[in-house]
Amino acid sequence: MSTDPVRTVGDVGEGELIDLFAGPDAIDDTDAGVLIGPGDDAAVLAGGGPVVVSTDALVDGQHFRLDWSTPGQVGAKAIVANAADVMSMGGRVTGFVVSLTCPKDLRVDTLVGLRDGMRSAARRYGAQVVGGDLTTGNQLVIAVTAIGAMDSRSPVRLSTAREGDVLAVSGELGASGAGLDLLLAGVPGFTSLVTAHCEPSPHLSLAAGAASAGVHAMTDVSDGLLSELRTMARQSGHAMHVDPSRVPVVPELAAAAAALHTDPLRWVLGGGEDHELLASFPAGVVPVGWTAIGTVTRRGGGPPVVVTGIDDVDLDLGWRTF
């Protein structure tokens, strides 16, 4: 079908729009994990032990802007955020479904870009977009649900950090927060930071190795490091100590902080949407690819999160939806 850019969602029929997502090319039929793809009442995926499920929506103007990100980047980000939730449980992603609410003036080529970004990101996690729903509304809302299989593994909770554990992350933090601030300030350049915000590519493949290595607790950094540590502390009853100088950052972070006259620690500790993994390992077993950034100690009467070099930690620092 034509994807003439001047055409909008309101210009084309429902059937044609559905075909964009559920047409004959929607699914790679050689994928044995998809028993039934789009076109029926529901999709059916091959089972594999307990079923992991997570949902996360991106709202136009709230989580992305189409003048900052390409449609493909927005689609990919929606997939990555959901894959991170399944993989940080130690799950293997088996499929995604997508509920899209589209304004009638949304361009059809924007929809196609979103779709292609979702499809290619899903493939990076060994899965496909197997179903969805299209409706019209005032605002573009992309609600993705990721489905995963635990196979014979046990789910990795975020609540089960133990005293004496080593805290570690799977990659650099703060780049997404810096990219957002650069976009908000209209500062040009810093492509790697802006890209980290528009289309994060966290090291989620490290989750499987962490599970094999006996990780005690794991989550992904979606709301900022301090916010995630606070949650781990609250749920485990232990204290989380972190040394920010050990947290890996991309080289551009310092220059961006200088350009914006701010402290890069704000992004490292409070910046959200990096979606890297944060895990609590038994002492001595931090696997290759992970960077140790702190320890888990007995809570006692002290604060839940202790940051080296900062006396009074503002735990409310972090990504806020509301």
CB contact at 8 A, 220 and 278: yes
- As a whole number of Å, the end-to-end CA separation of the chain is 40
Least CB distance to a copy of itself at residue 297 (A): 23
**C-alpha–C-alpha distance, residues 176 and 270, integer Å:** 11
For residue 322, state whether it binds a copy of itself (rule: CB under 8 A): yes
**Annotation: binding site for ATP:** 132-133, 222
**C-alpha–C-alpha distance, residues 236 and 239, integer Å:** 8
- The neighbouring-strand residues paired with 234 are none
Least CB distance to a copy of itself at residue 205 (A): 16
Binding residue (CB under 8 A) for a copy of itself from 80, 118, 147, 247: 147
- The neighbouring-strand residues paired with 144 are 56, 98
For residue 97, state whether it binds a copy of itself (rule: CB under 8 A): yes
For residue 199, state whether it binds a copy of itself (rule: CB under 8 A): no
For residue 280, state whether it binds a copy of itself (rule: CB under 8 A): no
CB contact at 8 A, 238 and 294: no
Take residue 78 and report the two structure tokens written for it. Answer: 């929606």
CA distances in angstroms from 214 to 165, 240, 274, 317, listed in the order given: 11, 19, 24, 30
For residue 321, state whether it binds a copy of itself (rule: CB under 8 A): yes
**Which residue lies nearer to a copy of itself by CB, 39 or 164?**
39
The piece of 20-28, 65-73, 146-154, 304-312 that touches a copy of itself (CB under 8 A) is 146-154
Total length of the chain: 322
Q: Which residue's entry shows tokens 């070099």?
A: 309
Residues 41-70 that bind a copy of itself (CB under 8 A): 41-57, 59, 62-63
Residues that bind a copy of itself (CB under 8 A): 9-10, 13-14, 17, 35-36, 39-57, 59, 62-63, 84-86, 88-89, 91, 94-95, 97-99, 101, 104, 130-139, 141, 143, 145-150, 155, 157-159, 219-220, 235, 320-322
